[in-house]
Chain A
Amino acid sequence: MYLGRVIGTVVAERKYEGLEGMKLLVVEPLDHAGKATREPEVAVDTVRAGHGDLVWLVGSREAALALEPWFVPVDAAIVGIVDDIDAAQEKPAK
């Protein structure tokens, strides 16, 4: 799992069966200090996250397991909204 910042939304009308109605957000993966770790990616939202929110995500096959139905082609899912980070080093703004 990893941290990320919601930086946009994606609208895709024609989607694979099982993905209808799912909210797609553009997320920039971050480390604990708020530094981007790789290129932004598209993730399915399961927690009603909004633009600018600091969230955590699960990747790979486990992303699909956050969804109902779970047998869907998804490789990143937002599974939590961060309230607070308690880390010894610098942390990203909420």
Chain B
Amino acid sequence: MKLCRVLGSVVGSVHHPVYDGQKLLIVVPVDGGDSFLAVDRVQAGVGDTVLVNQEGNGARQLLKMGQQVPIRSLIVGVVDEVHRDE
């Protein structure tokens, strides 16, 4: 999983049916790297530090929408605090 910061959201009315009603957020890894999109199921907001799982099998298990789910990145937690050695 990656620590990321939420930058904003993306909306699009024409999409694959599994994206119906899903909240799609733009996240950027806090340690650098390009921004990407993740489905939010934990009510994260702009500016939050979040934990993002980038692996489809875990996403399928959590979303409980069957096995044919083209979603790969899922926000699985809002981070309160991180302590680490510099």
A residues with a Cβ closer than 8 A to B are: 1-3, 31-33, 37, 46-48, 55-56, 58-63, 65-66, 70, 77, 79-89, 91
B residues with a Cβ closer than 8 A to A are: 7-16, 18-19, 24, 26, 28, 34-39, 46, 56, 59, 67-73
Q: Which residues of B contact A62 (CB under 8 A)?
A: 56, 59, 69-72
A1-B40 Cα distance, complex, nearest whole Å:
12
Q: Which residues of B contact A56 (CB under 8 A)?
A: 10, 12, 15, 24, 37
A91-B69 Cα distance, complex, nearest whole Å:
28
A32 touches B26 (CB 8 A): yes
Q: Which residues of B contact A79 (CB under 8 A)?
A: 15-16, 18-19, 70
